Amino acid sequence: MAQSNQKLHVNNHIMENYPIHYRNIKVNDLNLFYREAGPADAPTILLLHGYPTSSHMFRNLIPILSKKYHVIAPDLPGFGYSDAPDHNRFSYTFDNLAGTVQAFVDKLEMKRFAVYIFDYGAPVGLRLAMNNPEKITGIVSQNGNAYEEGLSDQWNPIQKYWKDPSQANRLALRNFVSEEVTLFQYQHGVSDPSLIAPEAYTLDQKSLDRPGNIEIQLDLVKDYRTNVALYPKFHEYFRKYQPKLLLVWGNKDPYFLPAGAEAYKKDVPDAKLKFYDTGHFALETHAAEIGVEIFEFMRTLPR
């Protein structure tokens, strides 16, 4: 009888999982790849990835959230399986990425949703939130910076390029897309590197090594300065709308410091903050724990 009950429990657990669909959609003459899972009539969560990854970073989180929520995770232009047109034909700016995501949201007729922001996905998602405050039910920021105090000294060479966008300073950043730097982003601050799935950084590096991709990434690095310039506007949005906010942060992130997470509470005092003993890609080591936090957070949001 005990064995029978155990099988029943396992079968019920399996039945709770929704399949992940791998889809493509045409947006502004670009093919955008996205992952979708969960009941279509459930509250929606839009997952926005960062550099140098793609929606693949959510491969462990989506099965957790899709048990009860409708999850959509696109690849941004230039990343993953979405189109990556030459940088001379497509303007790789964060305004343009946000505009593409806006068109994606509109085409899918997404009326109300929570947004998960990480790394590059933060300035994209926060632009989206500012432009569509009525659509946003809540924000989950996982190492998604919006405050200058969150920027570490790893940004110093990049800030030098912002101040003087010369060809020499651009060339000095070509190592930014190297395998060494990609591994550093995944492994720094992780107490047990054996938890990092090798296919994650291997897939990222394969995308980074595509012909012409280095120019795409250096264009985005250059344009990141516009995100810092927008920080005051993001803060105004936080103060005005007081969005429901969950902060889940790897406390050993070499790029976005814990101070950047704590700073959110200046503008959204009721934000919930949870630190994890890990690095930049916190989902690689703490997907289950972060998934539980998001699951509980989603219960508190309006539909």
Residues classed as catalytic: 280
Render the burial of 113-134: b for 16+ CB within 10 Å, e for the rest. Answer: bbbbbbbbbbbbbbbbbbebee
Q: 152-158 — which CB contacts under 8 Å span 24+ positions?
A: 152/253, 152/254, 152/255, 152/256, 152/257, 154/254, 154/255, 155/255, 158/221, 158/224
Helix axis angle, 94-107 relative to 121-131, nearest 10°?
Answer: 60
> What is the residue-wise DSSP string for 128-193?
HHHH-TTTEEEEEESS---SGGGB-GGGHHHHHHHH---HHHHHTTGGGGSHHHHHHHHHTT-S-G
For residue 20, what is the DSSP state? P
